[in-house]
Structure 1
Amino acid sequence: MKLIGMLDSPYVRRVALSLRLLDLPFEHASISVFRGFDRFRQLNPVVKAPTLVCDDGTLLMDSSLMLQYAEVLAGRSLLPSAPAALAHELHLIGLALAACEKTAQIVYERGLRPAEKHHAPWIERVTGQLQAAYAGLETALSHGALPPAAALTEAGLGQASLTTAVAWTFTQFMLPEVVDASAFPALVSHAAAAEALPVFRAIPCDDAVELR
């Protein structure tokens, strides 16, 4: 398999981390959808990151679809099987992915539009959604929704813990002035514990890294 995209994308990074945790070998092509548009288009005409090229050449897009496929390949899952526990973890993952989406929308609005064309009401709306997603995660973590930071281990790392940490690191990397870390101590502790694990250190939020 080949995973295409930059690791500063939370979607690319969550797939790379999950593949590593599932012991699935893969090649990584660190190609930007902006700087490497033409090169990316040769591999996937849609130019969407992440893209996963399966061994038979099939292209998968959307990180959640890739993880569904990867877990079938691996014969095991990073999600619980009991319905109630699964719904609980999917709720947390949904909040984390919403935070990723809203962070990206603000970054694109700021970075791709000229300053005089920034739409302040839109940015305010998306910022409110971003804050709400992290408020929901902070409350959940404060009430023990995920393992305590001190007890987080690579062997026990589930998809909700992984995606929450990836989302928080992404937002703090891109928009630390928008989401004040001091207001989210449980998220800060959780992400710090995850980022200290060997698998996270091997797959950093860094667009200069290409995994082998």
Structure 2
Amino acid sequence: MKLIGTLTSPYVRKVRIVMAEKKLDYELVLDDVWGPDSQVPAHNPLGKVPCLIMDENGALFDSRVIVEYLDTLSPVGRLVPPSGRERTQTKLWEALADGAMDAAVTARLEQTMRLPAQRSQDWIDRQLNKVAATVDHMDELLGEQAFCTGVNLCLADIAVGAALSYLDFRFPDMNWRAGHDNLDRLMQKLMTRPSFTGTQFAAPK
């Protein structure tokens, strides 16, 4: 399998962490989706990463779709419950984390892709307020549990970890750890895992 992505995307990192936890072999193909020579549009009409090129030459896109597929490829470390309330809880956590990533990425693009005179600080603030509200909610929801849905690592924790580490990477001044001891404790635990330490964000050179 080939994973087309960047080292700055939280969605790509989420997929890479899942692949590491599932012990799946793949080739990471770095691609600039904003560049004229991007490979992504040939496989994903939305022009977004991550994009997974499978061995049978099919393609999957959207991190939520990709990670659910990857979880079926190996019995090692099942990350998504097959059905019922546990599955719903896991997908709810993923929706919260992905929503925070969506808002953070939107704010980042507004800051970097528009000329200063064209930027809307109100729009940036609106997105970052969404992030802050979601972090508050996730911290309360987590409480004193070891992991998001109980005692075992699952996709919920990976999605939350990808989101929070993206805030560290792109919005360090937000200091999301302040007042969020539960999430801070979870993040410290996640950062002891090779799947997280081996997939750190990296800015383009």
Contact 1:7 1:206 in 2 (8 A): yes
The match for 2:104 is: 103
The match for 1:181 is: 177
Unmatched segments (≥5 aa) in structure 1: none
The match for 1:27 is: 27
Unmatched segments (≥5 aa) in structure 2: none
Once the two structures are overlaid, the 10-residue window that deviates more, 41-50 or 129-138, is 41-50
CA distance in structure 2 between the aligned counterparts of 1:72 and 1:121, rounded to whole angstroms? 42
Contact 1:166 1:191 in 2 (8 A): no
* Post-superposition offset of 1:207: 4.5
* Post-superposition offset of 1:142: 2.0
The match for 1:38 is: 37
Name the aligned partner's letter for residue 133 of structure 1. Answer: T
**Structure 2 counterpart SS, 1:182:** coil
* Post-superposition offset of 1:74: 2.3
The match for 1:71 is: 71
The match for 2:196 is: 200
CA distance in structure 2 between the aligned counterparts of 1:197 and 1:75, rounded to whole angstroms? 19
Which deviations, in whole Å up to 9, do the C-alpha atoms of 1:47-89 show, x marking residues without a partner? Answer: 3110100112112110111112212222563022351222222
Q: How does 1:111-122 map to 2 (within 5 A)?
A: 111-122=112-123
Name the aligned partner's letter for residue 91 of structure 1. Answer: L
* Post-superposition offset of 1:42: 7.2
CA distance in structure 2 between the aligned counterparts of 1:11 and 1:102, rounded to whole angstroms? 13
Q: How does 1:17-166 map to 2 (within 5 A)?
A: 17-34=17-34, 36-41=35-40, 44=43, 46=45, 47-75=47-75, 77-81=78-82, 83-144=84-145, 146=147, 156-166=152-162
Which deviations, in whole Å up to 9, do the C-alpha atoms of 1:148-167 show, x marking residues without a partner? Answer: 9xx98xxx421111111111
CA distance in structure 1 between the aligned counterparts of 2:185 and 2:162, rounded to whole angstroms? 13
CA distance in structure 2 between the aligned counterparts of 1:42 and 1:105, rounded to whole angstroms? 20
Name the aligned partner's letter for residue 73 of structure 2. Answer: L
TM-score normalized by the length of structure 2: 0.87
CA distance in structure 1 between the aligned counterparts of 2:89 and 2:49, rounded to whole angstroms? 27
* Alignment coverage as a number of residue pairs: 203
Provide the alpha-carbon RMSD of the alignment: 2.6
Contact 2:4 2:40 in 1 (8 A): no
